[in-house]
Amino acid sequence: MSDADAPIHDSMADGMGAALLDALFSQSTMALYVLDTNLRTVRVDTASPVAPVGSLLGRRFTEIYRLERPDEAERLLERALDTGAPTRRWRVRGRRADGSGPDRSFTVSFYRLTGSDRATPGVLVLVADVSEEEQARSRAAALDAVRERVGQSLDLVATCRDLADALVPAFADIAVVDVVEEVLRGAEPPLQPLTRDSSLRRTAFRGPGGADAAYPVGDVRDVPYPTPYAQALSDLRPRRVTLGPDTPWLAADPARSRAIEATGAHSLIVAPLALRGMVLGAVSLYRCKRSEPFSENDLSFTATLAAHTALSIDNARRYARDHTIASTVQRRLLPYAAADRVAVETAHLYFPGRNSGCWFDTIALSGARTALVVGNVHGRGIHTATAMGQLRTAVQALAALDLEPDELLARLNDTAVHLASERAAFPSGDMPRTESLTATCLFCVYDPFTRTLTMARAGHAAPLVVHPDGSTQTPEMPQGPQLSASDSAPFATAEIELTEGSVLALTTGELTLDGRPDTPGSVRPTALREVLSPPGRPLSEMCDALVYHLPPDAHPDGAALLLARTGSVVEDCHATYDLEHDRTAPKTARTLVRERLVAWDLGEEEMYAAELVVSELVTNAVRYGAPPVRLHLIKTHTLTCEVHDTGTAAPHLRHARTVDEHGRGLFIINQLAAQWGTRYTRDGKIIWAELGLPQPTG
């Protein structure tokens, strides 16, 4: 091409460019603006003007649009004009300055215009309304958040709170969740339609800073009629409502009307939380001030997330119901109060939680001894509480046999294995069959005469001992396998001597202030020592101090604490006598019993019964036992008569025939004594009988 042809080519290019620009301005679906070098509008598209074109000419772009970030728009325009660096699809919220209503979402692009002479005539601005695209994106993000967060917890209130947190501010400015009062208690939800006398509890509220709810979280109110809330709960269809000062139904709920006016809410969606025709509650979503109103697409989206939330709430409700039943069963199976025993003062704490298998017990044993027990069945639900009750009952029955702690745990383990085998035989659809039965137990026996504590444990933490001087000790004791575990290792005992006034702490769960587990021979954390010291305080005060030092969210699985302060039997309330191993021993024993009971100011009826019982016990020891023979009398709320010998043969109760001259001794004891039994020791056995005493009145 020659130099003479160049002006012709430039002229053609300029003509084509002008034609292209005219077509673009007349047919583009985007708003187009041409700005001069002073960044003032010189041309506007004419495809669908929202204002007279003449009113826009000569104005700056930030005067045509009210943007959230006008300073950034000016900076991007100047950069495009000065450097030629374009800005593509810059996202910003705002609206036309001459328009009304809520803000919209726009993408704005800036391009420098360059003529054929390389001069810069100005900047081209392209504006696209992407509000629907943004709304679709926010709906997708909100749905992902709801699916990710809602339903992860089996706490009904936490589920509602998670829903509100997932929707604000991504989808709505304010979210309110109300649940039918009966549902929060785990009861069956009412069927559609919800009656006027049904109560809703506000379980979650989330809004912008400073936004106050019409009613506080936790408030219980009847469904307001006639309102969209009542309508949605009546026919189980969501409602999309435009709010304004002339909305007629707001007069039925003045408090809600004031809250709507204060927050500037202009758009509302009410969606029922329902499942299988049962009404669980409602979720109310608001958009305020400059936010865009809810669309029809938002209405169908809200119905989808409400269905997901309703399923999660129903799961939480079912768990709450099962947990309530299991907790009720557990509480009925636990001792109502930790009763004081001879020379042992006790108190207890129970921390309710998801686990329904922890238990504690104090059991009176022969010879003024006391058994202290804590245990825990792993798992949750009514089957766990039932297994706990079975094991607790088994411990009480085995303790009555005066077994040593290690032997008792061995027999308890046999019971647990049997229960586990029964559970494994359940139908395949039963939940207990899928969960193995494992449990732990700590069994201690305190003897007030020797002040010794004999202990054995099955997979459980050792007790904590707080001595009268405030020092603490975790006794070293062998660890036995958990109950019903496959490990067949034997159980073993440990024995320590306690100073009178020592406090024992037996726990289930990780009942420590810093969460560290116990280890044999270790000392509990300093904070816990401070809580349980000084040990001379009332045990109830020590329990309260422990509660006050625990973090608010401690022990979600539940835990139990049993405190026991050890003592000794008053010297004047027991007596020990050595007897000859001959035929004179029964007569001597009767004389000694009468003298002692006279000193204790007991009546003739008690003396006669005691003389007869002791005579038979001593006769049995002389005839079938081995020397030495020792008589021990203990007066507490009952009278205990113990006869010790070094023989190993155990007596057996039998009914003598009419012609038999012997064999009626134990039968007589069985008739006179409240209870009797045999207890083996390291050097023989003790046959004991317990007689009732008249209790003081008034």
pLDDT interval class at 115 (50, 70, 90): low
- pLDDT tens digit string along 238-249? 999 998 878 888
Q: Which of 182, 438, 158, 131 is nearest to 294 (CA)?
A: 131
- Laid out side by side, the sheet with 503-507 consists of 344-351, 559-566, 503-507, 464-466, 472-473
Angle at 133 between CA 127 and CA 135, to 5 degrees: 120
Domain segments of the chain: what residues? 3-129, 135-324, 338-566, 571-692
Task: Provide the 8-state DSSP code for 233.
Answer: H
Look at the domain 338-566 and name its fold: Phosphatase 2c; domain 1 (3.60.40)
Q: Is the pLDDT of residue 410 over 90?
A: yes
pLDDT of residue 3: 53
pLDDT over threshold 70, residue 229: yes
How many whole angstroms separate alpha carbon 434 and alpha carbon 430?
Answer: 7
Which tokens hold the place of 149? 């967060």
Residue 9: what pLDDT?
44
3-state secondary structure 448-509: CCCCEEEEEEECCCCCEEECCCCCEECCCCCCECCECCCCCCCCCCEEEECCCCCEEEEECC
pLDDT attached to residue 516: 46
Instruction: For residue 590, give the amino acid letter.
Output: R
Of 28 and 142, which is predicted with more confidence? Answer: 142
For residue 527, the surrounding DSSP H or E stretch is helix 526-532
- State residue 222's pLDDT score: 85
Residue 413: per-residue pLDDT: 93
Residues 354 and 376: beta-carbon distance below 8 Å? no
Binned at pLDDT 50, 70 and 90, residue 529 comes out as low
Q: Please give the CATH number for the structural domain made up of 571-692.
A: 3.30.565.10
Phi, psi of 203 (to 5 degrees): -110, -15
The dihedral formed by the CA atoms of 249, 250, 253 and 255, expressed in degrees to the nearest 10: 180
Q: For 60-77, how does the pLDDT look when each residue is reduced to its tens digit (9 = 90+)?
A: 888 888 888 888 888 888
Q: How far is CA 36 from CA 16, 19, 86, in A?
A: 21, 19, 16
| CA max distance for the chain | 155
Question: Average pLDDT, whole number, for the chain?
Answer: 82
Looking at the chain, the number of H-run helices and the number of E-run strands are: 18, 27
Q: What is the pLDDT of residues 418-458, one digit of tens each?
A: 988 887 776 665 656 567 788 999 999 999 999 999 999 99
**Protein fold of 135-324:** Beta-Lactamase (3.30.450)
The pLDDT of residue 18: 55
> Which residue do the tokens 């053609």 mark?
12
Q: How far apart are CA 585 and CA 57, in angstroms?
A: 129
User: Where does 150-295 have alpha helices with state H?
Assistant: 156-167, 181-184, 228-235, 254-263
Sign of the CA dihedral 608, 610, 613, 618? Answer: negative
CA distance 571 to 569: 6
**Equal CATH topology for 3-129 and 135-324:** yes
pLDDT of residue 528: 62
Task: Please write the tens of the pLDDT for every residue from 89-103.
Answer: 888 888 777 766 677
- Give CA–CA dist 419/410, Å, rounded: 14
Residue 532's nearest CA partner among 500, 568, 490, 504 is 504
For residues 695 and 8, the model is more confident at 695
Amino acid 350: pLDDT? 83
In the CATH scheme, what is the homologous superfamily, with its name and number, of domain 3-129? Answer: PAS domain (3.30.450.20)
The answer to whether 637 and 695 are in contact (CB under 8 A) is: yes
What average pLDDT score do residues 675-679 get? 88
CA-CA distance, 501 to 342, in Å (whole number)?
Answer: 14
* Range name among 130-139, 307-316, 510-519, 648-657 with the lowest pLDDT average: 510-519
Q: Are 202 and 219 in contact (CB under 8 A)?
A: yes
pLDDT at 570 over 90: no
Alpha helices in 365-481 (DSSP H): 382-399, 405-424, 431-434
Transcribe 294-316 into DSSP letters. Answer: P-HHHHHHHHHHHHHHHHHHHHH
pLDDT tens track for 247-272:
888 888 888 888 888 888 889 999 99
Query: What distance in Å separates the CA atoms of residue 651 and residue 687, rounded to the nearest whole number?
Result: 9
Q: Tens of pLDDT along 291-302?
A: 888 888 888 889
Candidate ranges 38-47, 138-147, 198-207, 416-425; pick with highest mean pLDDT = 198-207
Please give the pLDDT value at position 512. Answer: 52
Q: Report d(CA 643, CA 626) in Å as an integer.
A: 12
Q: Say yes or no to pLDDT of 517 above 60.
A: no
Per DSSP, the residues of 192-225 read: SSPPTT-EEEEEEEE-STTPPPSS-TT-EEEPPT
pLDDT for res 518: 43
* pLDDT of res. 406: 94
3-state secondary structure of 479: coil
Output the pLDDT for position 501.
Answer: 92
**Residue from 378, 420, 377, 380 nearest 395 by CA:** 377
Q: Is the pLDDT of residue 338 over 90?
A: no
C-alpha gyration radius of the chain: 42
**629 or 427: which leads in pLDDT:** 629
Structure tokens at 620: 């049995």
Torsion on CA atoms 153, 159, 164, 166, rounded to nearest 10: 30
- Asked whether 569 and 448 are in contact (CB, 8 A), the reply is yes
pLDDT (average), residues 580-607: 91
pLDDT band at residue 600, thresholds of 50, 70 and 90?
A: very high
Q: Does residue 513 register a pLDDT over 50?
A: no
Secondary structure (3-state) at 109? strand
Q: Which residue has the higher pLDDT, 324 or 475?
A: 475
What is the C-alpha separation between 696 and 4, in angstroms, rounded?
Answer: 135
* Residue 364: predicted pLDDT: 92
Query: Could you check whether the bond before residue 169 is cis, i.e. omega within 30 degrees of 0?
Result: yes
Average pLDDT over residues 612-625: 90
What is the C-alpha separation between 100 and 98, in angstroms, rounded? 7
Report whether pLDDT(661) > 60: no
8 A C-beta contact, residue 481 and residue 459 = yes
User: Considering the chain, what percentage of its residues have pLDDT values greater than 90?
Assistant: 29
